[in-house]
Amino acid sequence: MGFDESYAAAAARWPAGTTPVDVPTSWGRTHVLAAGPGGAPVVLLLHGDGATATAWAGVAAVLAGRFRVLAPDQPGNPGRSTATRPFRSTADLTAWLAELVAALDVGPVHLVGHSAGAHLALSAALGGSPAPASLSLLDPTACFAGFRPRYLLRALPTLVRPTPAGIRRFLAWETGGRTLDPAWSDVYVRGATEVARTPIVRTRRPSRPRLAELTTPTLVLVAGRSQAHDPTRVARGARSLPAATVVELPTASHHTIPVLDAGEIAAAVGDQVARSTPTPR
């Protein structure tokens, strides 16, 4: 089985009725998995670096009963999108996201992001384009705390010279040995070892004064066992936001999200979306 077949197997775990949509942008054709009723509030799921839209299968299975759920493969990452030019900065990423939302023509969206996807969602909200109806940040990196040095040391070999065995060892270490979904793991490992990708965009934490300006309703889910950063520092920084709800997932680690504990994650995100959606008159 190659990457394409692995991706198809993982995408098949999305809820019945899911359809793929290809959206043209100036950064490349963006492949989007779409589920849920048209006309419902729109939830846009942004995966972490090196992952794909397939990671959201469990979360989408819950959310698609109430919301229109859209999950893109970020161009330049493994997945079914194509990149015509590389992202070189966070500003490039937010420009792509703005183009994608405009092309989808679905109105205000509720942005949900994991890891680097959370940084992208937060950056988009701080930049004002697209103006999200709400944010849900899942164990966000480079938002409220820096990476732990030991995490970077463990991750570096998987980036410089990735091997299937090395990546699986890294995931087993970070997740504390929790069993990940085999379909997701296979896509992640094959994506890292079989698919060419553009360079990773370096991210910076927003300044405290800039974070203090954020008025978008924001949910922050903190992985209590995250090895990527200090969960306590992440939670403390998130609570400084003017309109934040902070929830700890005590048994989650950085790389179990969003695959494991999907029901709990989806319930928290669904409540956040519902709270932030105006009641029709």
pLDDT, tens digit (0-9, with 9 covering 90-100), for 200-216: 899 999 999 999 999 99
DSSP secondary structure letter of residue 81: -
Q: Which helix or strand (DSSP H or E) is residue 263 part of?
A: helix 262-275
Q: Where are the domains of the chain?
A: 3-275
Share the mean pLDDT of the chain: 95
Which residues have C-beta within 8 Å of that of residue 232, sequence separation ≥ 6? none
**Model confidence at 130, in pLDDT bands (50, 70, 90)?**
low
Q: How confident is the model at residue 135 (pLDDT cuts 50, 70, 90)?
A: very high
CATH number attached to the domain at 3-275: 3.40.50.1820
With contact defined as beta carbons under 8 Å apart, do 136 and 272 qualify?
yes
Average pLDDT over every residue of 35-59 = 97
CB neighbours of 224 closer than 8 A, spacing ≥ 6? 231, 248, 249, 250, 251, 252
pLDDT in tens, 147-165: 999 999 999 999 999 999 9
pTM of the complete model beyond 0.95: yes
168-191 pLDDT, tens digit per residue, is 999 999 999 999 999 999 999 999
The Cα 258–Cα 279 span in angstroms is 28
Question: Rounded to an integer, what distance in angstroms lies between the CA atom of residue 118 and that of residue 265?
Answer: 14
Is the CA virtual torsion 277, 279, 280, 281 positive or negative?
negative
Instruction: Supply the pLDDT for residue 278.
Output: 76
Pairing of strands 68-72, 42-46: parallel
Instruction: Reply yes or no on whether the pLDDT at 238 is more than 60.
Output: yes
